Amino acid sequence: MIRELIVVEGKNDAHAVRRALGSVDIIWTEGYGLSEDKLRLIAEAAKRQGVIVFTDPDFVGGQIRERIRQSVPSAKHVYLSQEAARKKGDIGVENATPAEIQRAFAQIRQESLPPVRFTADILIETGLTGLPDSQAKRQAIGRALGIGECNAKQFLKRLNQFGVSPGEFWQAVRGTEG
C-alpha cells in the first residue's frame, strides 16, 4: 500500500493512477501551472507522509518534476516510458494501462546521498552513447532500472542521483542485450 502523496499533472492522470493503485492520496499540479502555494503544500506533505512524483514522460513533465525536485529533494520518483504513455500521438500518464502504472510503481526511486559515481566512461564502454543504437539501449536500460528514458547526459545524472548500484546497472545491461 502506498502511503505517500502522489503528484501527477492533471485530473485524468489522477483517475488513471487510482484505477491502477486503488485508493491513494493524489494531488495534481494542473500541468505546468504549478503554483508556489501548491509547491508549499507538496513540501509539507513530504514532511508528513512523503511524496512520489509521477509526471508525463515528456518535456513539460520533466520540467515539472525538476521544479518539485528542487523544492522537495526528499521526493521519490516514478517514471513511465513514452511507449507506455502514448495513445494516438498523445503522451501522458492518463494513457497508460493499469498494468503499466503498476509496473512503474514497482520501481520507485529516491535520490541517494551520497550518490554513486558513474562516469561517462561507463556509457561509452557499454555503448550507451556514441553509437547509432545508443538511444534505444539507454531507453531499454532506463525502463529496466525505473529511471526513465532520456539523453546520455541525463541518463548519467539519473544513475548517480537515484543511487543505482553497479550490480543493478550491470544486471540491466545484461538483461537488455540481444
Q: How many domains does one find in the chain?
A: 2
Residues 120 and 105 placed together within one structural domain of the fold = no
- What's 33's domain CATH number? 3.40.1360.10
In this prediction, what percent of the chain has a pLDDT beyond 90? 87
Report the alpha-carbon distance of residue 177 to residue 61 in Å, rounded.
29
Place 1 in a pLDDT band, splitting at 50, 70 and 90. confident
Residues 98 and 143 placed together within one structural domain of the fold = no
User: What is this structure's pTM?
Assistant: 0.80
Query: Strand (E) positions, 34-176?
Result: 51-53, 76-77, 86-87, 90-91, 109-110
Residues 58 and 134 placed together within one structural domain of the fold = no
Residues 93 and 9 placed together within one structural domain of the fold = yes
List the one residue out of 80, 75, 120, 113 whose CA is nearest residue 98.
80
Question: What are the tens digits of pLDDT across the range 126-155?
Answer: 999 999 999 999 999 999 999 999 999 999
Vertex 15, ends 14 and 21: CA angle to 5°? 85
> Angle of helix 11-21 relative to helix 98-105, nearest 10 degrees?
80
* Total Cβ atoms within 10 A of residue 165: 11
Residues 146 and 99 placed together within one structural domain of the fold = no
Q: Which string of DSSP letters, residue by residue, matches 69-97?
A: HHH-TT-EE----HHHHEETTEE-GGGS-
Domain's final residue, options 76, 91, 110: 110
Domain's final residue, options 93, 110, 127: 110
Place 114 in a pLDDT band, splitting at 50, 70 and 90. low
Report the alpha-carbon distance of residue 121 to residue 127 in Å, rounded.
10
Residue 46 lies in domain: 1-110
Over 80: is that where the pLDDT of 115 sits? no
149 with 57: CB under 8 angstroms?
yes
The cell numbers describing 168, all together, are 543493478
Domain's final residue, options 110, 140, 163: 110
Residues 85 and 168 placed together within one structural domain of the fold = no
Residues 105 and 117 placed together within one structural domain of the fold = no
Residues 72 and 1 placed together within one structural domain of the fold = yes
Over 80: is that where the pLDDT of 116 sits? no
Mean pLDDT taken over the chain: 93
Residues 126 and 153 placed together within one structural domain of the fold = yes
Question: What are the tens digits of pLDDT across the range 23-74?
Answer: 999 999 988 889 999 999 999 999 999 999 999 999 999 999 999 999 999 9
Residues 72 and 127 placed together within one structural domain of the fold = no
Residues 163 and 82 placed together within one structural domain of the fold = no
State the average pLDDT over residues 84-106. 96
Residues 8 and 74 placed together within one structural domain of the fold = yes
**CB neighbour list of residue 76: distance below 8 Å, 6 or more residues apart:** 4, 50, 51, 52, 53, 108, 109, 110
State the average pLDDT over residues 102-118. 85
